[in-house]
Amino acid sequence: NYFDTSSNSQEARRGTQERKKAIEWIARRAKIDLEKGLHVLIDSTFVEAEKRGLIYEVASRQPCDFYIINCVCPDEEEISRRLKRRMEESSDPRDEAASPKIYDAVKKAHEPLGMDQLPQGLDIKVVKFDTNSERVSYPNLNVVNRQKIRTIFEHITDPDILNEYIGFVSSKN
């Protein structure tokens, strides 16, 4: 379900509660998969630092590398085209969130990654993926971590490997 979060209506409050439950479920599921020794890929829009914090806590308690792939599209005209195309082509009710109104609300509410409070000992590696140019940038990563990122992207683009190798947790499930 998608809810209009631009107002303080009952629907907006219910939407906030549903999103919180979804993030908590994702964190529990990620913990289970990490404890099994699986690699975990979480596909979600973590707008608020507090919600990202739940995932940080899970990762800080597991012996794992932690990467954030920050997908961005700096071209607002391209974003408008994508939203319009998605709304026209999709019959999936989940794509109701692709409206310009929802996009604007999410953009306005987004809290930058650099402001997050991290649990002690958690080393997060942030990778930026420009979805318009399809360029990956990782300026602060060493050669070993850059190779790990290349491997992650290879797995993401090969569904057979992705399903076999990675515990996939999506907020859309």
92 compared with 29, residue with greater pLDDT = 29
Q: Which residues of 61-86 are buried (b: 16+ CB within 10 A; e: fewer)?
A: eeebebbbbeeeeeeeeebeebbeee
Whether the pLDDT of residue 9 is over 80: the answer is no
Percent of the chain surpassing pLDDT 70:
77
17-39: average pLDDT: 88
In the chain, where are the structural domains located?
A: 10-66+75-122+159-170
Note the pLDDT of residue 99.
Answer: 80
Structure-model confidence comparison of residues 96 and 131, the more confident one: 131
Q: How far from the centroid of its chain's Cα atoms is residue 171's Cα?
A: 9
List pLDDT tens digits, range 36-88: 888 888 878 888 898 899 999 999 998 888 888 888 899 999 999 998 888 88
Predicted local distance difference test score (pLDDT) of residue 19: 82
Cα–Cα distance between 28 and 147 in angstroms, integer? 29
The predicted model gives 109-138 an average pLDDT of 86
Reported pTM: 0.71
